[in-house]
């Protein structure tokens, strides 16, 4: 019997009737074959030819647009309509006029997305810091190339880079632009491909040139001392974090923090925000502030409005009387996009392959590529000079007998024989003979020919110098260094994004701003939390709970205290009691799963007031193990609200106790055994997810059921149940040591 063919073994013909009653032939194809033959070419095209920038700092769409403008003479000529540029670019980029114009907008000076725009624009090109400020149509705006584009095209006509056919093979376009500076680090760029993305932040041109020069002189130089951090056209402040910055410089991945700039106008009691992070917009900031005001989390503001005009960005905030502007801005930085993070993912195409590289690797690749560009340019000049020298050698032969040359030309009967006769008469080749034959009659004199021949010595010296340059790596580096220094001198600008170090950042503790007064807190078994003042508590007879709910824990503390809620998903939520509103005993309180944004099926199992984070937490699990974890392991320097991995997930949690000093505990198992031991026998651990040590040995079908402080147990015969070393099995619980209390989780 023949083996049945699976769909993945190749296409299979199937006859299906179509709507006309005829039979159509359909090819069945396996899903893996479909992905390989149809999807993979598309994915590779997006990665290699669309979304990821190359070592010159440009995506193909950028390169096609700029090259078209260069060929249109817009580097030195007057501006032309953007619609004209878009139409011409479609000869290289067939993706539609809207996509081409969007690319031009991003590269323009008016939009302001780049530190050094490549398109000198006129008209409304929108703004990078505004979500709603749309740019005008291409028929209304004009553009030309910015002066810095001279550094992109300087070597283009000297064979510095390869040229390739456009999409319909009707013209040539450069595969890369021979930039004389590391544009890959200067121009911010981002792209989303298939299965990968790229996010490059821009750096100051002067710093990049200095860093590249230092790298060429010493590849092991300290880049972070020269390249202070990213620089963005929207300004703002870069919060310097040396560890994060060095991580980005080393790996090409990481996150850096930015925040806006503001000034306080005392006469009008308002704050003006005039620079914002590159990653956000004015509308996003306004929306977030409005939301905070609406929810009552921002009570210091009377009004906020957008006063952006032709002079630049400005968000005005009217303050209430007595509000400290610096404290308010610290709060806004913490709660709104006025302080944001910029992600770095330096994914660049090198020789057609995507690679994530750090700054040092990028400089290494760029220097290697630029060295090759300079060598190709020198080879091109060398070839031209060698050709000229070859022609001068032929001309020198003519100098020996000009009359003979004239006689040969005059006595030759056919025009086609002139070149061969000159070659025979003077012993020169065809190229030299062509050059001699094309000399004008007025130039057939000794003076002209002697001047041309005198150039020969200077030409030989130039050729010798170029030959030495090609083979001398140190000299090539010197040429690149000279070009970088010239670019810095001509185009470098001061940093727009200020660098703010840790000691310069003012921090305000929000808890210190909240009023401090005594409160009582209550947690129910159903996850409801209440914060009640002593006055309200004295006026209430009983606490209100939902049906089938009841009290779990309660503490007396102050309104500034910190509280931790441990859940059954091994997570802990950390908040200030000032985050909760005061309530009454007659109210249900805040439902914590909703208040804290917990995961589905996540519930609170215990509440802890850490105080100064002294003492330890004891975790008891059903398998009889216990873990003693120092409370300091849950202290965080940042205002993190949620910590994962709060305790071990290897066995269900039975009890969680906050241990301030060693004491004795009573453990009960489902075998009706009891064990009394001192917590001093448990060694503290530093890892939150530790499984701990075995405290109570259990038979396979039994588990640990309850843990109580010894003073809350009914055990009278302590000697029967107390152990001096761990683990221990405990003893069968006698009737006189038992009680009728229901098993409960403390």
How buried is 724 (Cβ within 10 angstroms: 0-12 exposed, 13-18 middle, 19+ buried)? exposed
CA distance 14 to 1: 22
| C-alpha Rg value of the chain to the nearest Å | 39
CA distance 303 to 282: 15
Strands in 646-689 per DSSP E: 653-659, 664-669, 673-678
Query: Which SS3 state, helix, strand or coil, does residue 229 take?
Result: coil
Residues 229, 235, 237, CA angle at the centre, nearest 5°? 55
Query: In this structure, are strands 237-239 and 498-500 parallel, antiparallel, or unpaired?
Result: parallel
Query: Which SS3 state, helix, strand or coil, does residue 343 take?
Result: strand
CA distances from 248 to 92, 143, 229, 244 (A): 35, 36, 10, 6
CA distance 556 to 545: 19
Q: CB 171: neighbour CB atoms within 10 A?
A: 12
Query: Which SS3 state, helix, strand or coil, does residue 521 take?
Result: strand
DSSP string, 275-303: E--TT--HHHHHHHHHHHHHTTS--SEEE
CA distances from 478 to 78, 217, 481 (A): 35, 9, 5
Question: What is the DSSP-derived secondary structure letter of residue 408?
Answer: H
Tokens of 210: 């200095």
Angle (deg, nearest 10), helices 97-107 and 82-89: 120
3-state helix, strand, coil in the chain (%, to 5): 35, 25, 40
Q: Is 513 left (phi over 0), alpha (psi -120 to 50) or beta?
A: alpha
264 is catalytic: no
Q: Are 595 and 579 in contact (CB under 8 A)?
A: no
CA distance 176 to 153: 10
Q: Which residues pair with 413 in a beta bridge?
A: none
SS3 of 556-625: EEECCCEEEEEECCCEEEEEEHHHCCCCCCCCCCEEHHHHCCCCCCCCEEEEECCCCCCCEEEEEECCCE
Chain mean position to CA 177: 25
Residue with tokens 């200077």: 458
Residue with tokens 């022609």: 391
Q: Which of 39, 140, 167, 501 is labelled catalytic?
A: 140
CA distances from 419 to 238, 405, 422, 437, 452 (A): 71, 11, 5, 7, 21
- Please state the φ and ψ torsions of residue 453, each to the nearest 5 degrees: -70, -35
Q: CB 435: neighbour CB atoms within 10 A?
A: 19
Strands in 414-558 per DSSP E: 498-500, 518-524, 528-532, 551-558
Q: Which residues pair with 81 in a beta bridge?
A: 142
Q: CB 495: neighbour CB atoms within 10 A?
A: 18
- Please state the φ and ψ torsions of residue 183, each to the nearest 5 degrees: -60, -25
Catalytic residue annotation: 140
């Amino acid at each position: 019997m023949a083996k049945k063919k699976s769909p993945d073994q190749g296409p299979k013909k199937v006859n299906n009737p179509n709507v006309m009653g005829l039979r159509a032939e359909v090819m069945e194809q396996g899903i893996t074959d479909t992905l390989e033959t149809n999807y993979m070419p598309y994915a590779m095209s997006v990665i290699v030819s669309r979304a990821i920038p190359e070592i010159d700092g440009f995506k193909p769409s950028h390169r096609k647009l700029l090259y078209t403008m260069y060929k249109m003479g817009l580097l030195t000529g007057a501006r032309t309509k953007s619609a004209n540029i878009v139409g011409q670019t479609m000869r290289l980029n067939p993706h539609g006029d809207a996509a081409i114009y969007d690319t031009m907008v991003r590269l323009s000076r008016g939009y302001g997305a780049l530190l050094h725009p490549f398109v000198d624009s006129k008209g409304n090109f929108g703004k990078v810091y505004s979500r709603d400020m749309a740019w005008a149509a291409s028929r209304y705006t004009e553009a030309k190339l910015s002066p810095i584009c001279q550094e992109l095209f300087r070597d283009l006509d000297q064979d510095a880079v390869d040229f390739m056919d456009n999409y319909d093979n009707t013209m040539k376009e450069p595969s890369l632009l021979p930039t004389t500076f590391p544009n890959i680090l200067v121009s911010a760029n981002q792209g989303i491909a298939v299965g990968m993305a790229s996010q490059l932040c821009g750096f100051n041109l002067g710093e990049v040139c200095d860093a590249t020069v230092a790298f060429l002189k010493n590849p092991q130089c300290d880049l972070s001392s020269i390249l202070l951090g990213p620089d963005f056209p929207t300004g703002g402040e870069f919060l310097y974090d040396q560890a994060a910055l060095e991580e980005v410089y080393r790996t090409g991945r990481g996150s850096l923090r930015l925040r806006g700039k503001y000034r306080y106008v005392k006469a009008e009691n308002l704050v003006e925000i005039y620079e914002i992070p590159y990653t956000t917009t004015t509308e996003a900031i306004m929306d977030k502030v409005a939301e905070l005001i609406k929810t009552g989390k921002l009570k210091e503001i009377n009004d906020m409005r957008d006063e952006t005009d032709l002079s630049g960005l400005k968000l005005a905030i009217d303050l209430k009387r007595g509000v400290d502007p610096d404290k308010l801005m610290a709060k806004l930085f913490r709660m709104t996009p006025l302080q944001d993070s910029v992600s770095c993912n330096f994914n660049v195409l090198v020789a057609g392959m995507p690679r994530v590289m750090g700054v040092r690797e990028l400089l290494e690749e760029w220097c290697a590529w630029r060295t090759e560009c300079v060598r190709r340019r020198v080879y091109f000049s060398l070839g031209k000079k060698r050709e000229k020298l070859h022609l001068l050698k032929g001309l020198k032969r003519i100098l020996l007998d000009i009359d003979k040359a004239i006689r040969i030309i005059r006595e030759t009967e056919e025009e086609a024989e002139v070149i061969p006769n000159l070659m025979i008469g003077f012993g020169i080749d065809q190229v030299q003979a062509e050059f001699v034959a094309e000399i004008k009659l007025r130039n057939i004199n000794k003076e002209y020919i002697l001047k041309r021949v005198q150039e020969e010595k200077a030409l030989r010296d130039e050729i010798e110098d170029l030959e030495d340059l090609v083979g001398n790596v140190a000299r090539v580096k010197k040429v690149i260094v000279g070009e970088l220094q010239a670019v810095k001198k001509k185009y470098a600008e001061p940093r727009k994004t200020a660098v703010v170090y840790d000691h310069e950042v003012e921090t305000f503790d929000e808890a210190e701003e909240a009023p401090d007064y005594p409160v009582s807190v209550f947690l129910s078994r159903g996850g409801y939390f209440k914060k009640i003042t002593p006055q309200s508590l004295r006026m209430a007879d009983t606490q209100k709970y939902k049906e089938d709910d009841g009290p779990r824990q309660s503490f007396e503390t102050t309104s500034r205290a910190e509280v931790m809620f441990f859940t059954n998903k091994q997570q802990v939520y950390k908040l200030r009691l000032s985050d909760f509103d005061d309530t009454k005993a007659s109210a249900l309180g805040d439902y914590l799963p909703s208040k804290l944004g917990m995961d589905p099926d996540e519930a609170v199992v215990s509440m802890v007031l850490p105080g100064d984070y002294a003492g330890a937490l004891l975790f008891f699990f059903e398998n009889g193990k216990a873990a003693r974890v120092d409370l300091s392991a849950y202290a965080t320097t940042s205002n993190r609200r949620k910590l994962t991995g709060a305790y071990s997930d290897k066995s269900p949690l039975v009890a969680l106790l906050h241990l301030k000093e060693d004491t004795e505990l009573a453990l009960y198992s489902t075998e009706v055994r009891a064990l009394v031991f001192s917590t001093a026998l448990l060694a503290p651990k530093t890892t939150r997810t530790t499984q701990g040590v075995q405290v109570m040995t259990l038979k396979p079908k039994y588990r640990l059921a309850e843990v109580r402080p010894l003073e809350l147990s009914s055990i009278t015969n302590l000697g029967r149940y107390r152990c001096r070393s761990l683990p221990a099995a405990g003893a069968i619980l006698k009737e006189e040591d038992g009680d009728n209390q229901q098993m409960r989780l403390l």
